[in-house]
Amino acid sequence: MLNSIEESPLHDIVSPKSIALMGASTGFSMGTVILNRLQEIGFEGNIYPVHPKADEIRGLKAYASILDVPEPPDLAVMVLPAPTAVQTLEECGRRGVKNAVVVSGGFREVKGVGEDLEKDLLETAGRHNMRLVGPNCLGVAAPRYKMNTTTFPLFSKPGSVGLISQSGSFVTQMFQQVESLGIGLSAAFSTGNESDLDLVDCLEYLGACPHTKVIGLYLEGIRRGRDFVRVARSIVPDKPVVAYYVGGSETGRRAGYSHTGALAGPDGLYEGVFRQAGIVRARSVMELFDFCAGLSLMPPPAGSRVAVLTDSGGPGAAAADACGRTGLELPGFSPETGEKLSPFIPATGSVNNPVDLTFYKNPDDYTTNIPEILLQDPNVDMLLMYFLMPREIVSIAMKSMGVPADQAEAESDNMLKNQYKSIADLIKNNPKPIIGYTFRNQEDPGIKVLTECGLPVFQGAERAARATYALAAYTDLRNKVAKSLNASST
């Protein structure tokens, strides 16, 4: 285990002080797109575009060769045809460049001559003591370091989710989803063909990274199985690791192979690896990000007993069913809880679990008073809360009752502000995890206000129950790993 990220070979790749970029031009090219991304995110070091002919690219002085660049940059990023990339890496080595992100495809994943080119690439790097991410990757996205070697604009705030993906798609194409879930990235790696630095190196980096609270993995295949398990086990006592393995079905395995040439194994083998490593397993890409959201925003629970709070019967029943199906328990409450709840629950409601308020006059009952009673119950480890939050419905209702439009909208905005404060306080004042669910859209203003105050909110009872399950699963895995590490160290 690393003592700090500075010890990781990835440190200078995630936060370089200077970058040479090969493949950007005065026209349109993937390299130019990446240059745009680096400028747009506000990369603070020097960027040296290298181009055989251009004098200037997007306002920056361009150099004919890496040999002409005034300093050996911390990192070379190259988007060049595969054979040219090998030659260019050789020149980088001679110039004293120590790190490269090789975005180019056309290596092992295309078989034949590509396999030879990948060997040459690796041999060249080895000869010059260089470390590589890629080839056939999108490199690194790390908002905290204003770093983005991918092709997608990254506007989201720095966060605490570290991501390692053997597909570039699931770094870049999930940027919007990451924002919708109200989370942010600490550092995201697209590892591509992993000819040198691989997912285990990235895992070690994120394990040591003080900003990373949870690590998510998109896997098409693991090469260094033993190292993977060892490193994951060293991390899991401190932070959760979540993985989605795409090769688990026969169809997924074939697709993964044709994508990055990964050597996938049978589902049962990976299931065993994840269990041994203490990794929470997600069943889909969406779950991978949902689990990361829940685990990064909420503390680990003591166990798997869930109180469900709703103001509408059907969503309560749906949450109870979803919890049951994923192995969570809905406990009965202590007698004290029943007594404390009853003044808040109308005759039409239910003081059992799920607690169904049916309606309420004082919004604080729903967002503060009842949740606090439930979270204090010794039988309850977590709270799953339903949110309808019909901000525009309130405003429409008021308008149709004759309230002037501006007053109706002010009133519903006010409702949102109060909701924000109550939920933010509820999270701050309670050490037990709280998860929200809704059937509204994630972009609905009433839902956005909840994610903005740090509550993970999922669309549909099933996604929420699964994210709640992930919290309980982590507690269980962490305890097992910690126990077995303690046993082996004594």
State which of positions 349-368 bind its own copies (CB under 8 A).
350, 352, 354, 356, 358
Q: Hey, what are 460's tokens?
A: 């549909």
- Least distance to its own copies from the beta carbon of 323, Å? 6
Please report whether residue 135 would count as binding its own copies according to CB under 8 A: no
- Is the Cβ of residue 140 or residue 174 nearer to its own copies in the bound state? 174
- Least distance to its own copies from the beta carbon of 50, Å? 19
Q: Which residues contact 384 (CB under 8 A, 6 or more apart)?
A: 306, 307, 308, 309, 319, 323, 434, 435, 436, 437, 464, 465, 468
Please report whether residue 273 would count as binding its own copies according to CB under 8 A: no
The correct pick among 170, 274, 366, 469 for binding its own copies (CB under 8 A) is 170
Between CA 53 and CA 93, with CA 77 as vertex, the angle to 5 degrees is 85
Preceding omega of 266 cis (within 30 degrees of 0): no
Q: Provide the β-strand partners of residue 148.
A: 141
Site residues for its own copies, 301-340, by CB under 8 A, read 308, 312-325, 328-330
Please report whether residue 284 would count as binding its own copies according to CB under 8 A: yes
- Do 22 and 48 contact (CB within 8 A), yes or no? no
- Do 135 and 85 contact (CB within 8 A), yes or no? yes
The correct pick among 64, 67, 263, 396 for binding its own copies (CB under 8 A) is 396
CB neighbour class for 374 (10 Å; exposed up to 12, middle 13-18, buried from 19): buried
- Least distance to its own copies from the beta carbon of 1, Å? 29
Please report whether residue 260 would count as binding its own copies according to CB under 8 A: yes
Q: Which residues contact 169 (CB under 8 A, 6 or more apart)?
A: none
**SS3 for 147?**
strand
- Is the Cβ of residue 17 or residue 325 nearer to its own copies in the bound state? 325
Determine how β-strand 99-102 pairs with β-strand 131-133: parallel
Please report whether residue 247 would count as binding its own copies according to CB under 8 A: yes
Other C-beta atoms lying within 10 Å of the C-beta of residue 381: 24
Please report whether residue 211 would count as binding its own copies according to CB under 8 A: no
- Least distance to its own copies from the beta carbon of 461, Å? 6
The correct pick among 46, 156, 177, 379 for binding its own copies (CB under 8 A) is 177
- Is the Cβ of residue 351 or residue 485 nearer to its own copies in the bound state? 351
Site residues for its own copies, 43-102, by CB under 8 A, read none
Site residues for its own copies, 425-464, by CB under 8 A, read 439-444, 459-463
- Least distance to its own copies from the beta carbon of 274, Å? 15
- Least distance to its own copies from the beta carbon of 140, Å? 17
- Least distance to its own copies from the beta carbon of 41, Å? 11
Q: Quick one: which of 440, 437, 443, 423 has its CA closest to 468? A: 437
Q: Quick one: which of 236, 230, 261, 226 has its CA closest to 247? A: 261
Please report whether residue 28 would count as binding its own copies according to CB under 8 A: yes
- Least distance to its own copies from the beta carbon of 476, Å? 19
Residue 222 sits at φ, ψ, to 5 deg, of -110, 125
